[in-house]
Structure 1
Amino acid sequence: PQAIQERIGKASHKPSFASQLIPTLPSDELQDELVEEKAVVPSLSLHGQVEIRNHSIAWTLKLQVEQASRAYVIKDIAHFIFLIFQKEDYFVSQKIGTIRLSLDQFNQASQNLLLYIKKYFIDRNEHSYFKFSYGISPRDCGRYLETPVSYLNDLVPLFQALDVFQYVTSKAEYPLIFLDDSPFIPEEEIFKVVKSNNHYEIINTAYFGFIIQEKLWIRHNHFHIIKEEHRYFLDKLATWIYHYQESSPLIFSQENKAELMQICNIISNYVPISLPDELQIHDFIPTFAFSKTRNEIALNMVWSFGEKQVHSKQDLLTLPYTYQASKARKIYHQLLSAGFKEEFHSLSKIKIVDFFLKELPRFRTLGQVQLDESLEKLLVEDPAVIDIFDDEGFLSVQFDFSMISEDEIEKAIQALWNQESHYQTKQGKVLVFDDESLKVAQSLQDLRAKFSDGKIKMHKSRAFSLSETFKDNEHINFSRDFKKMAYDLTHPEEFDIKPYEVKAKLRSYQKEGVKWLSMLDHYHFGGILADDMGLGKTLQTITLLEANLKPDQKALILAPASLLYNWKEEFRKFVPHKQVEVAYSSKTERIKQIEKSATITITSYPSFRSDLKHYQKQSYDYLILDEAQMIKNSQTKTAQALREFDVKTCYALSGTPIENRLEEIWSIFQIVLPGLLPSKKEFSKLSPQLVAKLIQPFVLRRKKDEVLTELPELSEHLYSNELSSSQKTLYLAQLRRMQEMVSGASAYEIKRHKIEILAGLTRLRQICNTPALFLEDYKGDSGKMDSLFELLDTIREKGSRPLIFSQFTSMLDLIEQELEKKEMSHFKITGQTPSDKRQEMVYLFNQGEKDCFLISLKAGGTGLNLTGADTVILCELWWNPAVEMQAIGRSHRLGQTKQVDVYRLITLGTIEEKIQELQESKKELFNTVLEGQESRSNLSVDDIKEILGVE
């Protein structure tokens, strides 16, 4: 046990590189380094200052050393930061001398500022922002950091977080800057407008401040970022204040009152301005009344200032106050755009369609719109009422447009389907499609609905997606049948199932699984039961068939050859009254068994493909595909045969329906529920997240740790070993050959020689086990074989019984030879073991016979119930973690009462460590869609280089 703990610890807790390196240093040298470091770690902080130099924002920094009487100016900011990140010496002053700089010596606020300056100015080579101080020594090069206005929002908070910060002007020093990009209004009046004779004059009455870079207005310690549309104007205004106010006063005549008010409006966004009563701005609401003449559209416009109404431009001149000039300009601009004149009463020859589609919406944004009766009759804006209902196995979508004759609705729907903005009827009516209707039409197309013969139809399996997409749309009516189907898809646990007679007590999650399967069956949907291995997918399926198979109906079950008799035994145990036939033997025998037309027929995938014509002569109501990952490749003859096979309902059973690529789930659904997913080309463009959403109602997955809370603990260990000297010689030689093959090769060349490369990787893995797997005359030791039997001795002492898995049957043969020498009894299953013999060995082992069970990873990794074992040993890591979990699931499953220990044998310093890392990094796809993994065949070029240690 002590040796085992050491091995497990060695593999599970790798020492850090630093802990390996430190013992190699002389102890006195290390001690000197530590003392020196301790002596030069003062507490440092930065002080900040900003000023306006040459119309630029100039930042400076000072260094404050703990307990020093003052802070010292940093004369070259960029160089100072360089020294910090290089951890080099910096001369502070004659009094303090030189200190060793590092980032962690500074307080947090200082660190934040230093990191920002490094990232945005130094790392980007923006050295032009670092300026020298005029009239000072050249050593001061880089004393100032002069930044554009765009950096203010970041730098002001960073500088103001420092212990000391100042904004310095020629007249004052401020400890704070108020930065804002929305107007702030000083209390004192800055401008006023005075009336003199027949004109108005703008007078500057208080300090205005100044503007730099046309973007920043500064008044005392208020920094205000100017809106882009006001920059030119305010810059000119500031120029006038300081250079031309006396010589060129701002004077406006009565006729230019609108322009005066525009200027006053802009000024008032930033500073207070005093206006006489007649210049107080009053808002107004325009009303646009449109009527139709023979060939034109007439406009009568009214502006309402409260109770006061204006009907002409002449009326505007009599107002005792002014109006919003900018709003008036927008209205006049819109009049011209629509073909009217800049008058309150005007005519336009605009086309009726263009008026309704383009101009009318714009008028509505400006004010109130009125249409006369003739225009009202021509405009149809009511949103369509949409009905969705079940229609002979499809979902039909029907649009109902009011005020459109029945014979034109089909053409209107076609226009909407084509994402056109409108449809014009023969009578001249204009049906305007609102944004919501256009979105609905687009969403239906995204869900692959088809428009044909005036009808919109889609596959019934998209009911869930349809209900989720339109659940908040008040204009869509779902039929009662559709609502029931959508509810059942989202609440299958509430579905009522038929009575059944099964000689087993189903757990609650298994009953829910049967309800889910029965619900799908009710609506003629297929699905994937993707429960973890060991949760009873077989029992749930048998219960479904018992509850739903009518006397004249039949089911066909396809499974790996190794599981055929396991299925038959499960039927015998749970529903002995069902007629079950296994069609598996010679072709002649299989045909006889098929022609018996048993209620349940069980066969293998290869046999089904071979006997397809005979199965097509029968009529099956249910097709069950066990271990459905067998059909994950859509190009195989088996997958093609299944797509051609006509059956009412099909279910797939697989704990790992995705092992390598997202396309595998597509292949399964093309058989289980054709029509749910788009073409393979379109499917390849979908994200895993969208695929998960589409298949959600048709996949049921539960994990053991979620539903079997009483299941004993599963404890996983890495059990390490090292190469023997003879192994190491062979391993390094093979590794060098592989590295030479891959090093310097292009990605194309690596892909072209992938078969040879994968074969070479397999050879490396065989050496990790024992070179005897391929060298008949190998007489050397094997670190893994030694550690395996050391582990087996300990397991036998504890009274435990292990399952021993290996990818290599020759490895199992070598282990078998050693077991016989040690007089350890065992069973062995490989791909050559007959199915009926497998079941017999499984039964005997679970009854307590023999010490251990040798199993080929691929041949016995699925479908076996070996709860008689409480230990699992994986002799080598497999590229695909899903295969390993299937193997572990042979013991850690329903019916297990003991804790299960899993030992993964791993050879240190070899590609097995890389494979372990690769396993961890390849799980994202399955986790997103179901919870998935990768396999050797899916290794990328980068994976291969990483495994071989090639740069």
Structure 2
Amino acid sequence: MEQKKAKANSAGEERENEEKPGRQQELEGQKLQQQEPEEKDAKKQEPAPEKIAESKESAARRETEMVVLNPGAFAPAKEADGQGAKRARDSYSYFDVEALRRSLGLTPDTEKKGLAHCRRREVVLDETHFGYTYYEDGILGDAEGRGIWKGEVFPIQMVFSRDRVLNVECHCPDCQKHFYGWYDRKRNCGWTAALFCLLEEYLDFYRPGDATDRTGHGLIASFQERRANRIRADVDAEEGSLTLRPRLTQKDGRLSLSFRVGSEKLFVVKNLREFCQNVKESATDTYGSGTRINHRMGNFTERGKEWIRFIRQVVQEEAQFEQRLVESQSWSRKAVGKSGALELHGWRLDRFYELMGEDGIEYEEKTGEGKRKGILTCGVEDPAVILRIRPQEEKNVFQGIRVEWDGPRFFEGSQTSYFIEDKSLRLCRVDPKFLEATAPFLEIADRSSLSFVIGRNNMAEFYYAILPRLGEYVEVREEDAARTERYLPPEAQFVFYLDAQRGNITCTAHVRYGEEEFSLTDLLLDDMEAGMEPVRQRVREAEIVYRLRQWLPCLNMERDEFHCGGEADLVYQFLENGLDFLLGVGEVQCTRRFQNLNRARKIRISVGVSVSRGLLNLDISAEDLSRKELLQILDSYRNKKKFHRLRGGDFINLDDGGLAMLEEMMDSLHLSPKEFVKGKMHLPLYRTLYLEKMLEEQETVYSTRDSRFREMVKEFKTVSDADFEEPASLSRVMRRYQIVGYKWMRTLETLHFGGILADDMGLGKTLQTIAVLLSARLEGRGGRTLIVAPASLVFNWGEEIRRFAPQLEFCLVTGGQEERRKKIESWQSFDVLITSYDLLKRDIPYYEGKRFDYQVIDEAQYIKNHTTAAARAVKLIDSANRFALTGTPIENRLSELWSIFDYLMPGYLYSYDVFKQEMETPIVKNKEEWAAKRLQKMVSPFILRRLKQDVLKDLPDKLEEVRYVRLEGKQSKLYGAQAQLMRQKIASQDADEFQKNRMQMLAELMKLRQICCDPSLCFEDYDGESAKRESCLELIESAVEGGHRMLVFSQFTSMLELLKPELEKREISYFTITGSTGKEKRQQLVREFNEGDTKVFLISLRAGGVGLNLTGADVVIHYDPWWNLAVQNQATDRAHRLGQTRKVTVYQLIAKNTVEEKIRRLQETKQDLSDQILQGEGGQLAGMTKEDFLELLEG
């Protein structure tokens, strides 16, 4: 039981003594009040010198007064009545005194006796204890006191819970008459009542205990102990100052590892399990005669930390082993972790070797002759082993040889073995090849030596099979080798006689020992019949027979032959593998009939490719084979056979890369073997690049390509050198990689292929596309273009065309249904029509019968689901050249890629059912590498993707882009009404009235800007669309899918609040900083953002525009531009600053045909005026006239 003690002669006395000071102060206060008037009068009469002295004293007191340096930092929470602290102290009492009194069962007479004992001070409350037991969850109390009667002192004890007295022991003379002082509660004595009276006063005064249960108390105590340990750690040690030094000891063939710990002086760690616990709890422990060491992990050196992690692993392993022994009620032993040393073997030895490092560790070897110490280092080498061989005789008769193994002691790890090299004191890891060759010796070697005898009958096996292998790794020293050689039997020489007839192969196998020759079929007879020739190497012979029967399993004992039973598969396997084996182990003789058997050969495949009439012509043939035979060979290959036997008996090896390529061709072109070899096949031209890729990868296939095919492939491989010149007006605008992208798109157009421009966001996919469209106009190729984009980007396309290609006439297909119909009907009046996915779905009937030269879909992931109306609509448009723009061609599933290709080149990736069966399922579910490679070969020529890191040299530090959105529906009407209201107000005022109402106009202008951002900012019940919010979320989603992280700035914190639920809905992680975010919290969020993977940081412009380093982001979005460009650029620089390793892309969202666009244009022409409008709260508006305001509000 944990204890809390309180000592007092009596609680009553303590209470009385506590009350006196309070009453005394009260009386003294009354006296002071009475004296105040007199003192005041006296002070009025004090002379001036005394006032001067008092002034000096006051000044001196002020010098020593305490001043709070951090006011409010740790101020307690205030309550309305200011009495919270008093209530917390006085109103709560855990122990129910009345319930305790009832449970004690005191009679009135007994209570009177108890009070009498208290008045006469015959009872003393010595101690109270409070704590927990394993049987009660709540806190228990124990009151211990003394009774004094006629000079004798006796103990009284009472144990109680919150509301019940559990036990009373009184040793007064009356209670001693009863067994062990127990007394019936109804007959508790006056001494017990007296002790309870004192306990009652104690509980009322000190109010100990609360409802914390045993588990909660233990948890708090644990945290308190850890906090105390951390404090002691900060005081007792410096970061990285503790050394943990290992020592390796070898004794009786075992390795053990012990440790010493300390800073200047090192102390032996006697119990490693306790040591690990101390590290875990950051505890302080005493070593030696009083040296205190705190075990916080951070106090140890880096090497020490590595050793601690190793010790933990071993100690945990030992603890688990010990627990299993206890659970199984098996024998027990002292766990290694409880001692100061770790036994090293298995994985422990492997890990120890890795941890040793270059510096080495202390080493001690204990033997019967004494100790040897030094510094042990690590290395990799084979041990120096000597194998001594000498004749073994008995009574002058040669019996065989004695072999002695002399080498170091080996210690087994889990992966390999180790030994200690004595001279240089190095722990060496043994090469696995050495272990493989010497394993039988190491398994039976005693310590480091081994001695055994090989008799005469086994000498051949030892000398011919074992010793040659051993000789590569050990030093062999042989005594009197000439004598031994006289008794060494001759080595086995194998001879094989091969024949072939009627599709069967036969083999007669013999073994020669000197001049004697034996049939290997003898091994298959009983020992009695075969005899026991002592000179024969039975094991070696058995090995040869076993391998021979792998190919020739049948046996004809009468003819002494092994054969294959005419099985074609066995004949093929023998010719491919068995013959080579026999040639390697002995002499092979054969008949002419066997020689006439041709070993399996590979076929020479030829592929002819040509181009005519917009199609690929493909012709497949094989040298010396008819089309029928080639068809049979392909059929055998597809049935997973290893060979094919021609009618003439020749074998064709089907393990051939050329056949694999033909199978891939058949699968990708969906042709049966019969269709594949019947003659010329006609394929779509878009298979050109895929076919070229396959032919390039297969050197065993002979191929011929006509000039047109070669030209097409060359054009595509040398895109950067293509003769397509970018428009002159864009030559200084486009960067090198953009010019390459332009040429790539032109090449695809020339070859009538579609393609995906999948550059990273901010790299200018729009500009590259506009360059292609402009070149068509300038080169007289004319034509019409349909661009389909998300609604938020439709106006952005118009602005980009106006900026980069003003020669192009474009039309935004927007407005009501009738207005859109008229625009589509007059399509030939424009070079480019721009519409949204949503409007294209509605207007698809109006596009019927209209053929476009180009069709471009922006943010092509919008058609990733091929079943949607948007995907079906873009595929219904009649267009000659199709391009797709997207930064994320695959977001989640491969079906998304299929849908885009189905738009670009229908049928190229087959139907979706076939694509799913042959590619998507094998790749995604079965992780089939061949399917992934096949898909990659098919699509890679038609996807151009460059990341920012790929084109760093061509990029400026910042990429800046303005994205325009157009207000529609309710939002547009609200903006128009507000702008009209402002125009009317301003128009109705003369110049003086306008000057007086400037601040009101500024507020109205702010409202107008809020409507641009989101009408919900100023209209609580607004339930319509918000063009800019939708555009921003689309941009965020696209950036996140492209692997980017971004900062989103807005001067309206309420706008950030509107974005939060949208991000949560899309499961996009975010942080937020506003003016209410504390400094410490800001720095914490900045650190977590830069070091973590949170995708979005929402920042109010004024709160986060300066002082933050957010280089974890590479995209910046200005939701509502700050018209003071210096402030806006400061915000951008939160990401684009020292430490940023990536290029930063900056997006500015502008509402089209609104005050935002007007002021942006003013920024370009009247920078000073722009600053005046929105730089301050009105102080800079003096120069803004009534006409300036009206110009801003023009529609």
Bin of the TM-score, shorter chain as denominator length: 0.5 to 0.7
Q: Is 2:398 the partner of 1:203?
A: no
CA contact (8 A) 2:270 2:339 kept: yes
Other-structure match for 1:788 = none
Q: Deviations over 1:863-889 (max 9, x none)?
A: xxxxxxx997684257899x99xxxxx
Indicate the structure whose relative CO is greater, using CA pairs within 8 Å and at least 6 residues apart: 1
What is the aligned counterpart of 1:294 among 493, 498, 502?
502
CA contact (8 A) 2:381 2:429 kept: no
Q: Is 2:926 the partner of 1:683?
A: no
What is the aligned counterpart of 1:78 among 260, 273, 292?
273
CA contact (8 A) 1:802 1:871 kept: no
Q: How far is the alpha carbon of 1:115 from its aligned partner?
A: 1.8
Same amino acid, percent of matched pairs? 19
Q: How far is the alpha carbon of 1:639 from its aligned partner?
A: 0.5
Relative distance call for 1:878 and 1:651 in structure 2 (3 A) is farther
Relative distance call for 1:77 and 1:913 in structure 2 (3 A) is closer
What is the aligned counterpart of 1:272 among 459, 476, 482?
476
CA contact (8 A) 1:121 1:129 kept: no
Q: Secondary structure in 1 aligned to 2:855?
A: strand
Q: How far is the alpha carbon of 1:206 from its aligned partner?
A: 6.8
* Aligned mates of 2:511, 2:335 — CA distance in 1: 68
* Aligned mates of 1:156, 1:63 — CA distance in 2: 19
What is the aligned counterpart of 2:748 among 505, 520, 537?
520
Other-structure match for 1:698 = 942
What is the aligned counterpart of 1:164 among 362, 368, 384?
362
TM-score normalized with structure 2 length: 0.50
Q: Secondary structure in 1 aligned to 2:644?
A: strand
* Aligned mates of 1:139, 1:377 — CA distance in 2: 69
* Aligned mates of 1:907, 1:676 — CA distance in 2: 57
Q: How far is the alpha carbon of 1:81 from its aligned partner?
A: 2.9
* Aligned mates of 2:1010, 2:937 — CA distance in 1: 37
Q: How far is the alpha carbon of 1:368 from its aligned partner?
A: 3.8
CA contact (8 A) 2:496 2:582 kept: yes
What is the aligned counterpart of 1:99 among 293, 299, 303?
293
* Aligned mates of 1:552, 1:40 — CA distance in 2: 74
* Aligned mates of 2:1007, 2:1095 — CA distance in 1: 28
Other-structure match for 1:355 = 570
Q: Deviations over 1:828-887 (max 9, x none)?
A: xx9699xxxxxxxxxxxxxxxxxxxx887459979xxxxxxx997684257899x99xxx
Other-structure match for 1:117 = 311
Other-structure match for 1:154 = 351
Q: How far is the alpha carbon of 1:421 from its aligned partner?
A: 1.7
Q: Deviations over 1:151-204 (max 9, x none)?
A: 433324535855412343434636477989985343x54333568998652314
Where do 5+ consecutive residues of structure 1 fail to align? 1-19, 315-321, 717-792, 818-829, 834-853, 863-869, 885-902, 925-930, 934-951
Amino acid in structure 2 at the alignment position of 1:87? S
Q: Deviations over 1:335-358 (max 9, x none)?
A: 222227799994513435323443
* Aligned mates of 1:124, 1:470 — CA distance in 2: 61
Counting only pairs closer than 5 Å after superposition, residues 347-496 of structure 1 correspond to structure 2 as 347-351=562-566, 353-363=568-578, 366=581, 368=583, 378-385=598-605, 387=607, 389=609, 400-434=621-655, 436-437=657-658, 440=661, 451=672, 453-455=674-676, 471=696, 473-477=698-702, 479-480=704-705, 485-496=712-723
Q: How far is the alpha carbon of 1:59 from its aligned partner?
A: 0.7
* Aligned mates of 2:958, 2:296 — CA distance in 1: 48
Other-structure match for 1:558 = 788
Q: Secondary structure in 2 aligned to 1:455?
A: helix
Other-structure match for 2:1014 = 809
Relative distance call for 1:514 and 1:51 in structure 2 (3 A) is same
The structure having more radius of gyration, on CA atoms, is: 2
- Identify the range of structure 1 (607-616 vs 545-554) with the bigger mean alpha-carbon deviation: 545-554
Counting only pairs closer than 5 Å after superposition, residues 775-924 of structure 1 correspond to structure 2 as 809-811=1014-1016, 813=1018, 857=1031, 875-876=1055-1056, 908=1077, 921=1093
Other-structure match for 1:669 = 901
* Aligned mates of 1:417, 1:138 — CA distance in 2: 62
Relative distance call for 1:693 and 1:111 in structure 2 (3 A) is farther
CA contact (8 A) 2:500 2:594 kept: yes
* Aligned mates of 1:514, 1:383 — CA distance in 2: 44
Q: Secondary structure in 2 aligned to 1:59?
A: strand
Amino acid in structure 1 at the alignment position of 2:1015? S
CA contact (8 A) 2:314 2:342 kept: no
Counting only pairs closer than 5 Å after superposition, residues 589-628 of structure 1 correspond to structure 2 as 594=824, 598=828, 600=831, 602-604=833-835, 605-628=837-860
Q: Deviations over 1:718-744 (max 9, x none)?
A: xxxxxxxxxxxxxxxxxxxxxxxxxxx
CA contact (8 A) 1:629 1:654 kept: yes
Q: Secondary structure in 1 aligned to 2:339?
A: coil
Other-structure match for 1:757 = none
Q: Secondary structure in 1 aligned to 2:753?
A: coil
CA contact (8 A) 1:509 1:707 kept: no
Amino acid in structure 2 at the alignment position of 1:558? V
Q: How far is the alpha carbon of 1:475 from its aligned partner?
A: 1.2
* Aligned mates of 2:694, 2:761 — CA distance in 1: 34
Other-structure match for 2:549 = 336
Amino acid in structure 2 at the alignment position of 1:334? R
Q: Secondary structure in 2 aligned to 1:85?
A: helix
Amino acid in structure 2 at the alignment position of 1:117? I
CA contact (8 A) 2:564 2:571 kept: no
Relative distance call for 1:220 and 1:329 in structure 2 (3 A) is farther
* Aligned mates of 1:313, 1:921 — CA distance in 2: 75
Amino acid in structure 2 at the alignment position of 1:191? I
Other-structure match for 2:389 = 191
Other-structure match for 1:943 = none
What is the aligned counterpart of 1:651 among 883, 900, 906?
883
Q: How far is the alpha carbon of 1:652 from its aligned partner?
A: 1.6
* Aligned mates of 1:400, 1:190 — CA distance in 2: 66
Relative distance call for 1:556 and 1:478 in structure 2 (3 A) is farther
Q: How many residues align?
A: 742
Q: How far is the alpha carbon of 1:651 from its aligned partner?
A: 0.5
Q: Secondary structure in 1 aligned to 2:260?
A: strand
Q: Secondary structure in 2 aligned to 1:381?
A: coil
Relative distance call for 1:220 and 1:60 in structure 2 (3 A) is same
* Aligned mates of 1:166, 1:397 — CA distance in 2: 78
* Aligned mates of 1:157, 1:919 — CA distance in 2: 31
Relative distance call for 1:439 and 1:285 in structure 2 (3 A) is farther
Q: Deviations over 1:54-92 (max 9, x none)?
A: x7x341314154554xx6554333332332333223443
What is the aligned counterpart of 1:257 among 457, 460, 470?
460
Amino acid in structure 2 at the alignment position of 1:80? F
Q: Secondary structure in 2 aligned to 1:493?
A: helix
CA contact (8 A) 2:786 2:856 kept: yes
Amino acid in structure 2 at the alignment position of 1:360? L
Counting only pairs closer than 5 Å after superposition, residues 229-240 of structure 1 correspond to structure 2 as 231=439, 234-236=442-444
Other-structure match for 2:1143 = none
* Aligned mates of 2:1075, 2:908 — CA distance in 1: 43
TM-score normalized with structure 1 length: 0.61
Q: How far is the alpha carbon of 1:516 from its aligned partner?
A: 0.7
Q: Deviations over 1:753-772 (max 9, x none)?
A: xxxxxxxxxxxxxxxxxxxx
Amino acid in structure 2 at the alignment position of 1:297? I
Amino acid in structure 1 at the alignment position of 2:871? A
RMSD (CA atoms)? 6.2
* Aligned mates of 2:939, 2:899 — CA distance in 1: 13
Q: How far is the alpha carbon of 1:637 from its aligned partner?
A: 0.6
Other-structure match for 1:720 = none
Counting only pairs closer than 5 Å after superposition, residues 710-749 of structure 1 correspond to structure 2 as 711=956, 713=958
* Aligned mates of 2:670, 2:344 — CA distance in 1: 56
